[in-house]
Chains A and B, each alone.
Chain A
């Protein structure tokens, strides 16, 4: 009995919702379509509740560190920057219906911490890509040489400087991007969907149970 409610019913639920949504995508039928639409809204409302788990566990991790007097500064900073905007934003939202996207204090935190953080870390890729290129672009084997040559030609074509070295770079890079690159990208996409179909069937039949934490069973 316990196996039924702990394992079999969730699998059935998953199979049912998946087939229902697939049918909605393929078939035009007003009742089906409107129920499927409601189900998608319901699923995203339900998924939001997982936040309770994550926020609680993150808070617990850092309060424990504070109790053990480890990483005091970092944990204090994290807890303050997590809870003050969260509580204030929720308070404003539930009392006055002020959306957090326009609430001045929450926006201040966003503009002062989150937004510069986003741009900074996105831009740190400039350093990492340079160092990765330095290490990776070595003619170690036939394959690595193909990678290197394709990479360098495209790089040269994209910077103004390449065109002044040789006017053929843009044409050559156009060929690389449209022929081998498009072939490669097409295959990555095709093979991903082929494997996904098989994975979904495995999940719906209950052979793949990694998502319910019982893969080892």
Chain B
């Protein structure tokens, strides 16, 4: 096979100097905080996330009413960060549903999510000691087009009269369709996404909302594994650095010293 010449000129791409520095330092900071957590030097704890605590309540209510729980990770492919976060929460929900013998319907739009979801739900049912509760026909692909997926979900929510509607993943314009269908079915709704255009609809129509990063840290919040929580500590350190950059940059820019701004754009 024809190989291109090995090792041409190697250089950082234009305009990517700062991203390169930040990439390396973010990795280092998070790596360090995992190390410190393992050593027991720091013991970070994630603050309460009411939306996640409400999942138990939602599953409990579905069990009482004898109606199913609906869970969707939305439109994204399995490589989408919000879908990955949604999958982490799904394994917890699936386990709770299996324990209480509550029916769980999972919907998604991109085919490559299918094997992951099926494996995850099956695993959760086995972990709960109830493998018979795994029903492959309740894990549904509803086409790869945005609005036909939305129609399918809308139909399922109303037909099955779901008691809990969990919308955690990647959503575009169809967010409100799901939330309204859930409202008409009288379901408890817990939603979460990082898409800034859709959060308003979730905040106004759902009972609990995981805004932006709350969705992504939820997996660590549920598992409470020290290393996972350690990365959240690292994330907060990067947040403080960001705040510092904004404060320093704004002050310098306001007094007319623009080199700092140009340096950030490098």
Bound together, the chains give a CA A107 to CA B187 distance in angstroms of 39
For residue A196, CB closer than 8 A to chain B, the reply is yes
A124's closest neighbor in chain B, by CB?
A: B177
- What's the least CB distance linking B43 to chain A, in Å? 17
1/0 contact string of A21-32 vs chain B (CB within 8 Å): 010011111111
Interface, chain A (partner B; CB < 8 A): 22, 25-32, 34, 47, 50-51, 53-55, 57-58, 61, 64, 114, 117-118, 120-122, 124-125, 128-129, 131-132, 135-137, 147, 184-185, 187-192, 194-203, 205, 207-208, 210-217
A58 CB contacts on chain B under 8 angstroms:
140-141
Q: Contacts A57-B136, A61-B140, A201-B30; is A213 near B176 (CB within 8 Å)? A: no
- What's the least CB distance linking A39 to chain B, in Å? 13
Which of A34, A121, A195, A208 sits near B150, CB closer than 8 Å? A121
For residue B158, CB closer than 8 A to chain A, the reply is no
A204's closest neighbor in chain B, by CB?
A: B27
Which of A22, A31, A129 sits near B7, CB closer than 8 Å? A31
Taking each of A25, A189, A200, A202, which has the highest tally of chain B beta carbons within 10 Å of its own beta carbon? A202
Interface, chain B (partner A; CB < 8 A): 4-14, 16, 19-20, 23, 26-27, 30-31, 34, 77-78, 81, 84-85, 87-88, 90-92, 95, 110-112, 114-116, 118-120, 122-124, 127, 136-137, 139-141, 145-148, 150-151, 173-174, 176-177, 179-180, 183, 194, 196, 199, 201, 203-205, 211-213, 215-217, 219-220, 223, 225, 227-228, 231-232, 234-235, 238-239, 242
Chain A interface, >50% SS class: helix
